[in-house]
Amino acid sequence: MINLLIAGYHGFGNCGDEAILKAMTTNIKSLASDVDITALSHNPEFTKNEYNIKSVKRFNVIQVISAIKNSDIILSGGGTLLQNGTSTRSLIYYLSIIKVAKLFGKKVMLYANGIGPVTGKFNQMLVRIVINTVDVITLREKLSASDLRSLGVSNPNVTVTADAAFKLSSISDEDAEQILKNEGFIERGNKRVGVSVREWAKARYGDDFISKIAKACDNIADTGKEIIFIPMQYPSDIAISKKIASMMKNKSYILKNRYTPSEMLGIVGRVDVMLSMRLHTLIFAAVKNKPMVGIIYDPKIEFYLNELNMPEGGDVRTEKLDSDKITSTTLDLFENMDKYKEILKEKADIMTSKAEENDALLAKLFEVTRKEKERKRK
């Protein structure tokens, strides 16, 4: 039996990170029957029940060290874990997991990671030293590969793949439609626009983007489209969705309950177009072949929009959003739906194939581990 430990941002109610864990655990279980999975989590009981794996409290030092010691392979992933844009403490936490794992002689894989930003010479030095000891590195975009090299990481075992969520499975259309009905959505036969937003304190013009998105949603609703807010971070995205909805003169719908990643993927599959600040709603839309408009707040959004050849509706890092631009860009998707779907299908298929490379490289690591364990038994 191979003991596998997954370290990521799990158990916090972020559907994107939970989608990654769901895809990872599902893929691993189909890949090998001799792997016992444990994940570090803010909410171990939720993680155990949701994914049918073992889980330990991520901030219980004794439990974490014990889990590392009893593992054969540690996966750091997915998502953007190695960064100090959120906090230096977060960066140190994930680097420490890797460092302890290597001190115990364990194999470590960065699984579909995003990288950066990492600021400060000391932090950059830590990343360089620790990541150069990792056995396998897969990165979810070329931007992260560039960032890793800029930090001085010379580890040759780097492959650019794609986000694990491209491999996520979905609930049925019927089940997704029932969720919408249970949430109070009234089916009128109109086209639907899914809207996924988040708070972003670093926006150049503060909360101005909130009123601009509200105005754009009203403009779109004026053309007879249904607006459905799809919160990805529970419950914080619900609050900003309510704020935007309260600024609108037209009726909109907000999903108020917490859903699994597979349920959220199914829900995204029931809209016609996605307007999103959240990376994983954009990825979900790609999986479901739903054309999208992205609102950029982070380089990863810009990168994936470019990779999928989908339009952007503005960049809160550098400019005030233009409601008319968001409106016209979104309505253009409806006007040229077939063209956008054809483009998206081709691009999403490429990203799905790249996501499969994460598991292909992990399978090789499993095989090496099996042979080493067999030699030790002899």
Q: How far is CA 362 from CA 2, 84, 94, 139, 143, in A?
A: 12, 27, 19, 13, 22
- Domain stop point among 127, 160, 193: 160
Q: What is the pLDDT of residue 241?
A: 98
Residue 320 covered by a domain: yes
Residue span of the structural domain in which 28 resides: 2-160
Same domain, 216 and 103: no
Q: Are residues 107 and 252 in the same domain?
A: no
- CATH number at 276 reads 3.40.50.2000
Please report the sign of the dihedral spanned by the C-alpha atoms of residue 197, residue 202, residue 204, residue 206. Answer: positive
| CA torsion, ordered 13, 15, 17, 22, to nearest 10 deg | 110
Which pLDDT does position 94 carry in this prediction? 97
Given a cut of 90, is residue 232 above it in pLDDT?
yes
Query: Is residue 358, in this structure, part of any structural domain at all?
Result: no
Whether 16 and 82 have beta carbons less than 8 Å apart is answered as no
Assigned domain for 340 exists: yes
pLDDT tens column, 154-169: 999 999 999 999 999 9
Query: Which residues are 35's β-sheet partners?
Result: 2
pLDDT at 18: 96
DSSP summary character for residue 2:
E
Q: What is the pLDDT of residues 256-300, one digit of tens each?
A: 999 999 999 999 999 999 999 999 999 999 999 999 999 999 999
- Which residues have a Cβ under 8 Å from the Cβ of 119 and sit 6 or more positions away? 84, 85
Identify whether residues 195 and 247 lie together within a single domain: yes
Number of compact structural domains in the chain:
2
pLDDT, the chain, mean? 96
Examine the pLDDT at 322 and tell me if it is beyond 90.
yes
Residue 365 lies in a domain: no
Alpha helices in the chain (DSSP H): 15-31, 44-51, 61-69, 88-103, 121-131, 142-150, 173-182, 208-222, 236-247, 261-268, 279-287, 299-308, 323-335, 337-377
The phi and psi torsions of 154 (rounded to 5 degrees) equal -110, 5
Q: Is the pLDDT of residue 106 over 80?
A: yes
pLDDT reported for residue 65: 98
| Shared-domain flag, residues 180 and 297 | yes
What average pLDDT does this structure show over 295-311? 95
Mean of pLDDT values over 206-222: 98
Q: HSE (CB half, 13 Å, CA atoms) of 74? A: 28
β-bridge mates for residue 254, sequence order:
229
Q: Are residues 205 and 252 in the same domain?
A: yes
Together in a domain, 214 and 150: no
Same domain, 154 and 177: no
269 lies in the same domain as 126: no
Determine what percent of the chain is predicted with pLDDT higher than 70: 100
Q: Looking at residues 323-347, what average pLDDT do you find? A: 98
- Using CA of residue 75, residue 80, residue 82, residue 87, what is the dihedral sign? negative
As a whole number of angstroms, the distance between CA 53 and CA 99 comes to 24
- Dump pLDDT digits (tens) for 133-149: 999 999 999 999 999 99
Model confidence at 86, in pLDDT bands (50, 70, 90)?
Answer: confident
Residue of 71, 92, 89, 151 whose CA lies nearest to 116: 151
Residue 378 pLDDT exceeds 80: no
What is the pLDDT, as a whole number, of residue 156? 96
Residue 166 DSSP class: G
Q: What is the pTM of this model?
A: 0.94
Average pLDDT over residues 64-91: 93
pLDDT band at residue 176 using 50, 70 and 90 as cut-offs: very high
Dihedral-angle region of residue 185 (phi above 0 means left; psi in -120 to 50 means alpha; beta otherwise): beta
Residues 14 and 38 in one domain: yes
Q: For residue 18, give the amino acid letter.
A: E
**CA–CA distance, 92 with 83 (Å, rounded to integer):** 9
